[in-house]
Structure 1
Amino acid sequence: MKAIVFDLDGTLIDSAPDLHLAANLVLRDEGLPEITFAQARSFIGKGAGVLISRVMDTVGLGDDPAEHARLLAKFMTHYEGEPAHTLVYPGVMDALARLEAMSCSMGLCTNKPEEPTRIALRHFGFDRFLSKVASADTLPQRKPDPAPLLHVMRDLGADSALYVGDSEVDAETAERAGVPFALYTEGYRKTPVSEMYHSYAFDHFDALPDLVARHFSEIRA
């Protein structure tokens, strides 16, 4: 079976504009200084809870658990709607269609909460292609723990898979799971490509189907 599992934010979609807006709406409500787009982008990858922790630290709120829970709830009320400013990366939809035509089974492994994940999959039409999903709420563990990735692979009925992601979190997840990793270099990573675990690297989704074909042909050889 040719199984491929994708990350979502920074891999299939650029959600940083909507995450930035939601965080700043919370800060405005609280009468606090807003964060920059670059800061918001750098906070993405380990889920909404970590993002809010980083926002709180940036604006000097400390790490009080009750305050974190309150601000996270406010953040989710702003973020759990249709994505207004999020964009699909160039070539993604064509690549997914080509992979489907190649009889690839595809799933999703993300640290995004379940509701915005579900909304994004429907909004952008990814639910047609990605049959199995692990979000931040599917298991007690979250990436970079390998459990969510292995969970999706099991749901796909795959003993092995190629994981496609963009970040240090994704690379660590794949490495800990013992899964080959295809790094999309135009996402949210902060580390040089040469210093990250990966089997392949690509900068446009037009390249992914051929990369996948090469990967699975080498496995069969």
Structure 2
Amino acid sequence: MELAPNLRRIGSDVVSAYLVETPEGITVIDAALPGHWRDLVAELASMGRSLDDVRGVVLTHGDSDHVGFAERLRREHGVPVYVHAADAERAKGGPKPKGGKQRMRIGALLGFVAYSLRKGGARPVWLQEVVEVHDGDVLDLPGAPQVIAMPGHSPGSIAVWVPAVDAVFVGDGLTTRHVLTGAVGPAPAPFTDEPAQAIASLGALLPTGATWVLPGHGAPFHGGVAAAVAAVEAAAR
């Protein structure tokens, strides 16, 4: 789905990933679930592109519903996969803390589980190799994505700022559709390791001034990063 020139989303409001296009090729931000592979191939074809045009995958963190098809791209097409050093082991299937008690509504939960199962979520494909990144890195990929450390959801959670498309990709730094309750609008994401730290990290997004705020779960937010952060902070209170 085209959001703006050179900016696309695959997946749905339940789980999504993003594509940034430049003449040099494609940067993929997050890799959703393994079954989104077909969505990726179809979206590239609609752009007149192919898997050979993908230059890199940048993961906002190492959870299974963001790792998705990344290892397949790496193994079959030689595409490097970038993840923050603090989440490198998580992206390889390493341990993660058990989440605290979560608010949920049974209908929303069942919808999330059913969608995940249809897209291969029951059998995650973990990374075998990653390229580690750090706060402030500017990656040599289409769109020159910039790494913003956003610890909280996980130790190595990041946002990815791409000035070329006026968008900041936030992973689970915030959500606009709570996968366990179905509530819509900017809010803290569930399954967060350190909720207070995640809220504090939101301030790092503000200097981007981005118009698009693009989460891994929920509708794209086009109202500007300041409004999104303020809404999440209000919801957290």
Same-fold call, TM > 0.5? no
Give the structure with the higher percent strand: 2
Give the structure with the higher percent helix: 1
Larger relative contact order (Cα-Cα within 8 Å, sequence gap ≥ 6): 1
User: TM-score w.r.t. structure 2 length?
Assistant: 0.28
Point out the structure with max Rg over C-alpha.
1
User: TM-score w.r.t. structure 1 length?
Assistant: 0.29
